[in-house]
Amino acid sequence: MSKKPAAAPASPPQPAAVSRPSDANRAKAERLKEMLANKYTKQKETTEEMSRRRQELEEQMKGMNLNEAQKKKYREELGKMEAQSRREGMRRLTTDDFTRLSIIGRGAFGEVRLVRKNDTGEVWALKSMTKEAMVHKNQVGHVQAERDVLASADNNWIVGLQFSFQDDINLYMAMEFLPGGDLMSLLMKEDTFPEAATKQYMAEMIQAVACVHALGYIHRDLKPDNILLDWQGHLKLTDLGLSKKVEIDASYFGATPEDLNVNAAAARLDTRPLPDRKATHVRGQTNLPRDRKLAYSTVGTPDYIAPEVLSQKGYGPECDWWSLGVIMYECLVGYTPFYADDPVMTCRKILRWQQFLDVPDHVSRALSPQCLEFMMSFVCNAESRLGRTSMDEIRNHPWFAGLDWTSASLRSAPAPYKPDGADSIAALLSSIRTLEPSDARMAAAVNQLTANFDDFEEEETSRWGGQKKVGRRDKDNDFVGYTYSRRSVGGRESISTLFEQKAEGA
């Protein structure tokens, strides 16, 4: 009788395959974690602010000889103001909360409109960006970075963000409206600036870039198109869609002007529509260790991009100073130093900048030696670039001898060029706040207010809100935590308003 063959030994159980989260899912998880941390931090700050306001109210009432009934009324009024502020902060904004006035900018991913908020009459520049395009073009990180840095900024040199919100199709950012247009438009009008005007603009741009760096970011897309003019002709930075968060030691800022507020900025922190001149992306790889304090991706508009960004060997905040040097050259000469019809050729010229950098004789003869030396100290190798080790290197340059770097001083000085119609801006804004959209005077007022911007036709298929979900159903997950509102009940201001309201009602 034959024996049955022995059964083969059972294979040991194999461990289940470990599913690793994708880079996209890790990014979403980090974003959610950051959103929750910011939420609880904001709740703590709100509670502390309420306590401080109530203490402020009690201190002011002590010297007013009020009886208990009167004090109770003031306490109740403050409670109503705070409750109203909380309701406004919790309510989700939509495009229905704004009246469209005019299109003042348009790009590959969206557009910018002049709008009026329906409940307050305030005029804002509302930037809209298509979610589907943001995801498809891998711009999610960029648009989140722009929202983060604008929400964190609270100074005179970066365009202020008031609200950010979203619907099924678009992302929106309501920002302060600067009616002077951009520096590129002014350059096209004037061709070149004299040295004195260039010095003033450079001082303001330096302060603006320093504010971005103080927030822990590199701008990476500095160009005249992204430098806006307020109604007095002073500068502010916008379009931080390519900004990159990096580690910057606070000691870098040296004797920091009080308006940079580096420590406060650091404590708060823990889409761009493409212009006609498209950014050139040069792909490359390196086996060098990646420094956490350096960035490596190649972004920016070719004419203003620094050579170390193109070389893919890592770069830091000093790449922004190169861009400012190129802008300074354009202001003085009338064109960029490495211009070429082909963007690839522009990049090649930048990489061999020593060979192609040349200041025309008639320009160099008209400029002071200090001016030329300062410009060349920006348009040079990163290792020897002015401002690489500290802001004091820039502020102490002989070209700026005697300059008061505080915002109050820079912004109180008359701007080199005052925007057309500047004297009527206040009256125009006041009338637009109250005029009905159907009023014939509204269109004329809006046209005057946007005179320094190009004209754009309304598209048949508007990118405005109110559309239903299409395409990727999960794309909203890419923009978790995007909603933001700067509005809050102020401290002394709200208390003063409270007493004024009660006095008027008495």
- Residues with active-site annotation: 221
The full DSSP string for 116-130 is: EETTT--EEEEEEEE
Query: C-alpha angle with apex 154: 83 to 160, nearest 5 degrees?
Result: 85
Our CA dihedral for 49, 214, 411, 193, rounded to 10 degrees, sits at: -160
**Distances in Å between the alpha carbon of 167 and those of 136, 171, 460?**
18, 7, 20
Tell which residue, 166, 205, 242, has the closest CA to residue 321: 205
**Distances in Å between the alpha carbon of 183 and those of 188, 226, 373, 438?**
9, 8, 23, 33
**Inter-residue contact 162 to 175 (CB < 8 Å):** yes
Q: What are phi and psi of 27, to 5 degrees?
A: -65, -40
In one-letter notation, the amino acid at residue 500 is E
Going 149 to 318 to 377 to 347, the CA torsion angle's sign is negative
Residue 127 known to bind ligand:
yes
Neighbours of 428 (CB within 10 A): 21
Rounded distance, CA 56 to CA 301, Å? 50
Encoding tokens for residue 457?
């036709």
**H/E element, 237:** strand 235-237
**Inter-residue contact 424 to 448 (CB < 8 Å):** yes
Rounded distance, CA 346 to CA 348, Å? 5
Q: In sequence order, what are the residues at sequence separation of 6 or more whose Cβ sits closer than 8 angstroms to the Cβ of residue 317?
A: 213, 218, 246, 248, 252
In one-letter notation, the amino acid at residue 213 is H
Q: What are phi and psi of 290, to 5 degrees?
A: -90, 120
The full DSSP string for 33-75 is: HHHHHHHHHHHHHHHHHHHHHHHHHHHHHHTTT--HHHHHHHH
**Inter-residue contact 456 to 103 (CB < 8 Å):** yes
Bridge partners (DSSP) listed for residue 126: 113, 174
Binding residues for ATP: 127
